């Protein structure tokens, strides 16, 4: 998402560059997008975690590009997912908080959503797992099939809130387990492998959207036991249940990569991994970041992002520049060589993947209005980041906080009183941007 004065210009430039698909000698690149639910920035080995075991994601990072300053569009799931599906900031589509079971809101099929766009370029599109872009599941107004997915597998048919990882699956009672002790994350991983196998002869987009590690936490018993016996295991930091759930996600990444290699598709596929928001502080620590899910502090919105694909940067590269959820939509369209009919809030980042010098400074914005505080502690607020500085405005009491993220990643020292000119400039940008949003 751009600063207001440059947004339209840069979005136009981005759209005009999407003239031809990125291809190998065998045709267009396939796209595999793996999204974890509530996975914090500090949970993977390649991001410095020494307790959780994520060898396949670490290997994926060594094959591709890892971002240190990637952001979710919101500190909770539904708005971020809407941003990924549309390339638009959540308030532009009317979804700024997670959708409750009786919520009348949903992601309207009138949007030119991601699978619709990719289908115009000849892609076969599949969703496996969590959707959470409709509140009233009985009405099915935001059904993922209405958004262009050719295949929708193991996606919830009723409210997903509490989490359910072993059969019977309360949020999708129609899904029958393949074995009595089936673990949902394993099932999704198996479905992903099978999707790739049956679509290997045509360009495909696979959205593997894990329900894990969303609470209530429930890992496979044998993995939980393994982590519980490790030195340093605890209830919050180094949580064995959380570590077990993350390892199951990681195993699926390995399964997918092995399948791509076995089928001769590894050099014809872009694999992207990320999370929809930060980790939940009740079950983990996002240190060195402050706070977690439901807040606009870094712990709530900074997420892992790994991109690996042919020609997408030097293997093992690290990019310390801000990118945001909406960029995925624009990037996937750039890969496919198609475009959206509307202006986007995100930009394609494939050139940045290849060359960090392609980065142009951006201003990122968040809008998170709440009628009452989130049950995890988040407050009604907005935020802006430009360069190293980030400002948060709390709507409930007017408090302003300013941080220098380069010097204070943990957001411990509020500089709003010491740097009034910087505070007022960023606050002006945030408020001007907010005026551009639908009312």
Residue 420: CATH number of its domain: 3.30.1120.10
The crossing angle, in degrees rounded to 10, of helices 77-86 and 326-336 is 30
Question: Where do we find the tokens 């712990």?
Answer: 299
Range of the domain at 398: 380-435
pLDDT of residue 102: 87
Question: In this structure, is residue 374 part of a structural domain?
Answer: no
Cα distances (angstroms) measured from residue 65 to each of 1, 62, 319: 21, 7, 7
Same domain, yes or no, for 408 and 274? Answer: no
Same domain, yes or no, for 185 and 242? Answer: yes
Question: In this structure, is residue 369 part of a structural domain?
Answer: no
Same domain, yes or no, for 343 and 384? Answer: no
Domain count, the chain: 2
Q: What is the per-residue DSSP string for 382-437?
A: EEEEETTEEEEEETTT--EEEEETTT-TT--S--TTT-HHHHHHHHHHHHHHHHTS
pLDDT of residue 24: 58
Same domain, yes or no, for 157 and 244? Answer: yes
Contact 349, 323 (CB under 8 A): yes
Domain boundary among the residues 361, 392, 412 is at: 361
Low-confidence residues of the chain: pLDDT under 50: 1-19
pLDDT of residue 359: 85
Task: Render pLDDT for 384-399 as a digit per residue (tens, 0 to 9).
Answer: 999 999 999 999 999 9
Domain boundary among the residues 331, 361, 391 is at: 361
Same domain, yes or no, for 159 and 293? Answer: yes
Same domain, yes or no, for 139 and 265? Answer: yes
Same domain, yes or no, for 356 and 430? Answer: no
Question: In this structure, is residue 176 part of a structural domain?
Answer: yes
> What's the whole-model pTM score?
0.94
Question: In this structure, is residue 370 part of a structural domain?
Answer: no
As a whole number of angstroms, the longest Cα–Cα distance in the chain is 62
12's tokens: 């136009």
Same domain, yes or no, for 312 and 405? Answer: no
Domain of residue 291, CATH code: 3.40.720.10
Burial (CB < 10 A; 0-12, 13-18, 19+), residue 132, is buried
Question: In this structure, is residue 327 part of a structural domain?
Answer: yes
Same domain, yes or no, for 259 and 407? Answer: no
Same domain, yes or no, for 353 and 407? Answer: no
Task: Give the residue among 74, 123, 45, 31 at the shortest CA–CA distance from 301.
Answer: 74
Strands 389-394 and 400-404: antiparallel
> 3-class DSSP state for residue 300?
helix
pLDDT of residue 2: 35
Q: Quick one: the chain helix, strand, coil %, rounded to 5?
A: 30, 20, 50
Count Cβ atoms below 10 Å from residue 199 Cβ, excluding itself: 20
């Amino acid at each position: 998402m751009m600063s207001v004065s440059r947004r339209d210009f840069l979005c136009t430039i981005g759209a005009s560059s999407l003239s031809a698909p990125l291809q190998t000698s065998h045709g267009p690149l396939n796209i595999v997008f793996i999204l974890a639910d509530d996975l914090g920035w500090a949970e993977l080995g390649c991001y410095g975690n020494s307790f959780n075991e994520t060898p396949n994601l670490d290997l994926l990072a060594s094959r591709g590009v890892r971002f240190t300053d990637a952001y979710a569009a919101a500190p909770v799931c539904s708005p971020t997912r809407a941003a990924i599906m549309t390339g638009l900031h959540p308030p532009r589509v009317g979804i700024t908080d997670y959708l409750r079971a009786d919520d009348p809101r949903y992601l309207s099929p009138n949007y030119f959503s991601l699978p619709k766009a990719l289908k115009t370029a000849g892609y076969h599109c599949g969703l496996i797992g969590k959707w959470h872009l409709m509140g009233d599941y009985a009405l099915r107004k935001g059904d993922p099939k209405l958004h262009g997915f050719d295949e929708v597998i193991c996606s919830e048919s009723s409210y997903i809130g509490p989490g359910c990882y072993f059969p019977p699956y309360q949020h999708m009672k129609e899904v029958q387990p393949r074995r009595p002790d089936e673990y949902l994350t394993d099932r999704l991983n198996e479905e992903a492998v099978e999707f790739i196998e049956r679509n290997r002869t045509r360009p495909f987009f696979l959205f593997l959207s894990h329900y894990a590690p969303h609470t209530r936490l429930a890992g496979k018993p044998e993995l939980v036991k393994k982590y519980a016996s490790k030195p340093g295991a605890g209830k919050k930091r180094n949580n064995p249940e959380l570590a077990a759930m993350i390892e199951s996600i990681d195993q699926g990444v390995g399964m997918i990569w092995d399948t791509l290699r076995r089928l001769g598709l590894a050099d014809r596929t872009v694999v992207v991994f990320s999370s929809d928001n930060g980790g939940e502080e009740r079950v983990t620590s996002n240190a060195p970041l402050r706070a977690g899910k439901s807040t606009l502090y870094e712990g709530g919105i900074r997420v892992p992002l790994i991109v690996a694909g042919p020609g997408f940067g030097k293997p093992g590269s690290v990019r310390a520049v801000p990118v945001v959820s909406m960029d995925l939509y624009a990037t996937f369209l750039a890969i496919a060589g198609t475009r959206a009919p509307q202006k986007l809030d995100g930009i394609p980042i494939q050139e940045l993947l290849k060359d960090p010098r392609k980065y142009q400074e951006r201003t990122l914005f968040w809008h998170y209005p709440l009628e009452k505080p989130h049950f995890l502690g988040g407050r009604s607020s907005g935020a802006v980041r430009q360069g190293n500085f980030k400002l948060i405005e709390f709507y409930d009491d007017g408090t302003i906080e300013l941080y220098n993220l380069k010097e204070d990643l943990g957001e411990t020292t509020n500089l709003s009183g010491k740097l009034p000119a910087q505070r007022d400039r960023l606050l002006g940008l945030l408020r001007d941007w907010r005026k551009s949003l639908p009312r």
